[in-house]
Every structure is written in structure tokens, then in C-alpha cells.
């Protein structure tokens, strides 16, 4: 009998949160809470890497599947598994919170245990979301992740953290409620919460008839086919808010700006990927026909998600807000891939295999954006620590002369975000555009403008910070210490490695993509 590796990995951060939160609370134990949390997260990362080493790259099927009856009368199972998509997401969820904890300094005295416990609890929610294959089980972890995220923003954020965290909570809860109602309707129609079973119903085209039969009270409201669209809209809304898809993005800039910068690293590096993951794992398999029918409007919204945030970034001076809008832009490429290359055809393949590169690029972009965005916010955290919280681009200048290593590593990260060849961002964006252009050349041509505008505002930010005359108040700005060079150099090294050797990840994802392309 195989050991329950996924369950152990998922429960590890929960146990760590309990140890840190209850055992190390109180004044005088802050350093110990941080040390224990870091040690726990290192062990978790090692566990995720063990899964990666043992992963069979030759198959796209679920691996380490654990399945047991939970609430049989309701069709609820404990059902977990990992394929290439899940493995990449798990690795991201293991690495980014560790980096965030390393960058967390100056946590409110006396509340360190709460802070690190919430980071661990958030990590538990992320692992559960990326491995669960039954909606009931999956939705528990989806909601669990919201609570620590809210607490971290609300209690440890900036002066306007209250309104920002409230907006974040309300937006996410509205999406979650809509999604829950949609899946309750699906359960009523099919008698199952299992994603693979629901996907078979969706591909068969029988969902409309089943909804009409099982929900007779809805006859006066809509036909079965119309009911499917209402359910599809509710489920889609839940993920659209989380990514976010324009125009459901307005919570993000304020939340990312007001959250402690290490928390922002987790929000943008991993939590935003929950939405992309859900679109690919849940929406596309269960609602292929509806995704195809709404394709035109969804592609337009994806293009708006790519282009409009870049225009907003030009008007910002706060570096965190600039990077927040950049994050929306980069996730827009993932949305474009989902909405263009998986239109769905009833009873057949979801797409022509020409679109497969876009799906590989999409999964790789999830990892690359998570890595690059988290690293950029880590540099912001370092900047804040040295300047007393200053982030206004107009107040900097000439930092390259006093801190060449800091500027060099941050510059590489910005170039990776721009998509410079030789760095990780180029590979994933190239694959997305290659696949999208094969099936929607017009949309791909418009989306390319997002690459140009992103390059302009990020290069502009680099120019204002790194070059020009030195501001007198930053003459004593110190360069990175040895410890900081190791902490910040690690993600930069991965950007370089994945830029020249993307097959390190693609060998895991390609079999999964081929199964998706075949409608399995």
C-alpha cells in the first residue's frame, strides 16, 4: 500500500499552524515562532520536491490517488490526486510561502506566532485546493485559504488595510457563494460532486436535461439548456474574481498595496493561481459547450485584462501598485489561453492539437508568474526595510551606484517579467502566443500590445529607481547582505534555469495537456 503522500503534505502546514499558533504565542517567543515556522516550511518544500522526483512524467493520469468514502449519502468522497498541473501548483505553493516567511521582518511584537500560523494555514488551504478531486472536499480548502489571507491583510497590513481586506473578502465571498449554488445544482442533477464524473456529464451534453428533470421548480424560470448557462455563470464568477478577470479585478490593487509585502507575495504568487487552476481543472471539463458559446465575450474580457491594467500602471507612482497591475496583465495571458484554445465540442476533442502549446505555456506561466511576481515583491520588501516604507518612484534615483547587486538582481526579475529571451517569462508567453495564434490570430495580435506596454512601464520604473542622479537621502542605502543575496538569488537562479531549460517543467505538464486536448 502506497503511503498517503498527498494527505501528509496537505496536513503538514495545518499541524505547523497549530504548533506555532498555540504553542508559541505571546511576547518573547517571536523569534522562536519564526524559526519553527521556517523549519516547518523547509520540510514541506522538501516533501513537495520528493513528490516531484517520484512523479512519473510519462503519463498525464492522476498519481498518488487517495479515495475513500466520506459522506456516502451525499456522494462526498475524500478524493485527491496529482497530475502535471497539480504538481506545478503544489511546488509553487510550497516555495512561495517559504520565501515570504524569509522576507517577513518587523512583524508586530507579540503577534509573530499568529502571523506565521496564518501563513501556514493559508499554505494548507492551497495544497488542498490543488489536490482535491471532489467539490465538497475542494470547496472546504478553497474557503479555508480565504480566512488566513483576510486576517493577514486586516491585522498586519497598512493604514487602509481595513477597507482593502473588507473589499477582498466581499468580492471573494460573492464569487464563492455563486460557485457553491452552481455546484449544488450540479449535484441535484447528477448526484455527484466528483470532478471527473461531472466532466463526463458535461462532455455528454446531458446536463441541461438532467437539470430540467431534477429541478422541476425551475421550469417556469428557464429551460434546461438555460439552466446550464446560469450554473456555468455562477461557477465562472467564482474563478473570475479570484484570478481576477476584468472587470472583477478592482479589489486587487488596494489589497496588494495594503497587505504586508511578504503576504502580497503569496497572494500574487499562489492564490491568484487558484482561479486559473479552477478554470482549467473544473470549468473547461464540465462546461465545454458553454465555454465555447461564451468564447467571444470571454476573449474580449481576457484582452481587457491584458491591456487595461498596463494603462493604469502608467498613472501610478507606488511601486507596489505598479507591480499589482502588472500581475493582472500577466494573468490575462493565462485567461486568453483558456478561453481561446479550449472552446469545446460536444462528444469530441476540446480543441485541435495546434492549441496544445498554449496549454503548456499556460501551466508554465502559472509557475513563472508566481516565481517572478513573488520575487519582485520580495525586492519591494527589501526596499521598504531600508527606506522606512518608501515606495514612491519619484523619490528614488541612482540606486544602481550604491546598491549594484540589489539593482542587478531586481533588474533580472523585471526583465523576466517583461519576457526577455533567455529568462523564464519568455518561454511561457511564447508558448501561449504560439498556441493562441494558431486558433485565434486576431486575439493574439491584439494581446501582443500588452507585451509592449508592460515593457514600457516596467523599464520606466527601472529607469526612475536605478538610474539618474543619486538622491541625497539614499546615499547610505546599503546593498544586499550575504543572506539576502542567497534568499533573493534563489528565485533569480530559477528564472535563468527555466529560461534555458523549460523542459524541466514541460516534461511533467505535456502528458496532462495531451489528455486535456483529447477531452479526457
pLDDT on residue 350? 44
Residues 254-309 pLDDT 10s: 999 989 999 999 999 999 899 999 998 899 888 888 888 888 899 999 999 999 99
Residue 344 pLDDT > 70: no
Residues 385-444 pLDDT 10s: 888 878 888 888 788 888 899 999 999 999 999 989 999 999 999 999 988 888 888 899
Q: Are 207 and 197 in contact (CB under 8 A)?
A: no
pLDDT on residue 346? 35
pLDDT on residue 345? 39
Residue 87 pLDDT > 90: yes
Is 388 part of any domain?
A: yes
As a whole-number percent, the residues of the chain with pLDDT over 90 amount to 44
pLDDT band at 196 (very low <50, low <70, confident <90, very high): confident
Residues 38-54 pLDDT 10s: 999 999 999 999 999 99
pTM greater than 0.85 (yes/no): yes
**In DSSP terms, which residues pair with 77 in a beta bridge?**
69
The DSSP-derived string for 412-452 is HHHHHHHT-TTSHHHHHHHHHHHHHHHH-HHHHHHHHHHHH
Is 104 part of any domain?
A: no
Is 392 part of any domain?
A: yes
pLDDT on residue 33? 84
Q: Are 226 and 167 in contact (CB under 8 A)?
A: no
Cβ contacts of 208 within 8 Å, gap of 6 or more = 223, 224, 225, 227, 228
Is 208 part of any domain?
A: no
Residue 461 pLDDT > 50: yes
pLDDT on residue 412? 94
Sign of CA dihedral 411, 89, 514, 339: negative
Is 414 part of any domain?
A: yes
Instruction: Tell me which of 215-219, 262-266, 472-476 is least confident.
Output: 215-219
Mean pLDDT (the chain, rounded): 86
Q: Find the radius of gyration of the CA atoms of the chain.
A: 22
Residue 223 pLDDT > 60: no
Report the residue count for the chain.
520
Is 4 part of any domain?
A: no
Q: How many domains does the chain have?
A: 1
466: enclosing H helix or E strand: helix 441-466
Is 304 part of any domain?
A: yes
- Domain extent at residue 363: 294-520
Instruction: Tell me which of 102-111, 459-468, 507-516 is least confident.
Output: 102-111
Cβ contacts of 262 within 8 Å, gap of 6 or more = 100, 101, 103, 104, 377, 378, 381
Residues 373, 322: Cα–Cα separation, whole Å: 12
Is 475 part of any domain?
A: yes
pLDDT on residue 22? 81
Instruction: Tell me which of 137-141, 280-284, 340-344, 487-491 is least confident.
Output: 340-344
Of 518, 367, 365, residue with least CA distance to 436: 365
Residues 249, 157: Cα–Cα separation, whole Å: 20
Residues 72, 409: Cα–Cα separation, whole Å: 53
Buried b (16+ CB within 10 A) or exposed e, 382-420: bbbebeeeebebeebbbbbbbbeebbebbbbbbbbbbbb
305: enclosing H helix or E strand: helix 295-314
Of 296, 380, 277, 405, residue with least CA distance to 340: 296
Amino acid at each position: 500500500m502506497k503511503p498517503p503522500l498527498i494527505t501528509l503534505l496537505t496536513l503538514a502546514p495545518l499541524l505547523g499552524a497549530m504548533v506555532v499558533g498555540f504553542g508559541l504565542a505571546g511576547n518573547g517567543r517571536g523569534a522562536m515562532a519564526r524559526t519553527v515556522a521556517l523549519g516547518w516550511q523547509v520540510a514541506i518544500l522538501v516533501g513537495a520536491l520528493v513528490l516531484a522526483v517520484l512523479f512519473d512524467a510519462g503519463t498525464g493520469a492522476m498519481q498518488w490517488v487517495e479515495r475513500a468514502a466520506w459522506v456516502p449519502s451525499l456522494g462526498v468522497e475524500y478524493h485527491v490526486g496529482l497530475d502535471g498541473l497539480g504538481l506545478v501548483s503544489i511546488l509553487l505553493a510550497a516555495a512561495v510561502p517559504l520565501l515570504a516567511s524569509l522576507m517577513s521582518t518587523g512583524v508586530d511584537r507579540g503577534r509573530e506566532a499568529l502571523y506565521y500560523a496564518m501563513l501556514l494555514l493559508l499554505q494548507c488551504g492551497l495544497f488542498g485546493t490543488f489536490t482535491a478531486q471532489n467539490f465538497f472536499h475542494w470547496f472546504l480548502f478553497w474557503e479555508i485559504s480565504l480566512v488566513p489571507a483576510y486576517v493577514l491583510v486586516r491585522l498586519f497590513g497598512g493604514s487602509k488595510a481595513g477597507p482593502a481586506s473588507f473589499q477582498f473578502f466581499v468580492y471573494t465571498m460573492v464569487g464563492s457563494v455563486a460557485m457553491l449554488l452552481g455546484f449544488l445544482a450540479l449535484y441535484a442533477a447528477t448526484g455527484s460532486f466528483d470532478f471527473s464524473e461531472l466532466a463526463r456529464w458535461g462532455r455528454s451534453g446531458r446536463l441541461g436535461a438532467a437539470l430540467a428533470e431534477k429541478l422541476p421548480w425551475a421550469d417556469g424560470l428557464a429551460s434546461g439548456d438555460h439552466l446550464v448557462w446560469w450554473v456555468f455563470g455562477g461557477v465562472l464568477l467564482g474563478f473570475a474574481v479570484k484570478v481576477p478577470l476584468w472587470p472583477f479585478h478592482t479589489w486587487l490593487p488596494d489589497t496588494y498595496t495594503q497587505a504586508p509585502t511578504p503576504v502580497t507575495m503569496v497572494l500574487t504568487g499562489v492564490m491568484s493561481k487558484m482561479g486559473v487552476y479552477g478554470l482549467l481543472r473544473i470549468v473547461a471539463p464540465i462546461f465545454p459547450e458553454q465555454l465555447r458559446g461564451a468564447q467571444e465575450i470571454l476573449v474580449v474580457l481576457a484582452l481587457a485584462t491584458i491591456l487595461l491594467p498596463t494603462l493604469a500602471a502608467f498613472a501610478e507612482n507606488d511601486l507596489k501598485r505598479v507591480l499589482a497591475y502588472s500581475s493582472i496583465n500577466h494573468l490575462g495571458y493565462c485567461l486568453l489561453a483558456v478561453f481561446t484554445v479550449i472552446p469545446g465540442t460536444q462528444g469530441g476533442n476540446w480543441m485541435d492539437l495546434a492549441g496544445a502549446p498554449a496549454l503548456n505555456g499556460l501551466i508554465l506561466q502559472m509557475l513563472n508568474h508566481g516565481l517572478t511576481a513573488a520575487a519582485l515583491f520580495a525586492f519591494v520588501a527589501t526596499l521598504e526595510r531600508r527606506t522606512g516604507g518608501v515606495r514612491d518612484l519619484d523619490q528614488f534615483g541612482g540606486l544602481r551606484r550604491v546598491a549594484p547587486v540589489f539593482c542587478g538582481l531586481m533588474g533580472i526579475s523585471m526583465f523576466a517579467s517583461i519576457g526577455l529571451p533567455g529568462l523564464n517569462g519568455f518561454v511561457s508567453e511564447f508558448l501561449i502566443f504560439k498556441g493562441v495564434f494558431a486558433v485565434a490570430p486576431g486575439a493574439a495580435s491584439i494581446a501582443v500590445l500588452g507585451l509592449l506596454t508592460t515593457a514600457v512601464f516596467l523599464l520606466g520604473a527601472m529607469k526612475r529607481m536605478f538610474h539618474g542622479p543619486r538622491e541625497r537621502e539614499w546615499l547610505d542605502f546599503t546593498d544586499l547582505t550575504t543572506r539576502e543575496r542567497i534568499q533573493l538569488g534563489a528565485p533569480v537562479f530559477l528564472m535563468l534555469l527555466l529560461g534555458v531549460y523549460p523542459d524541466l517543467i514541460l516534461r511533467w505538464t505535456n502528458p496532462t495537456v495531451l489528455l486535456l486536448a483529447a477531452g479526457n
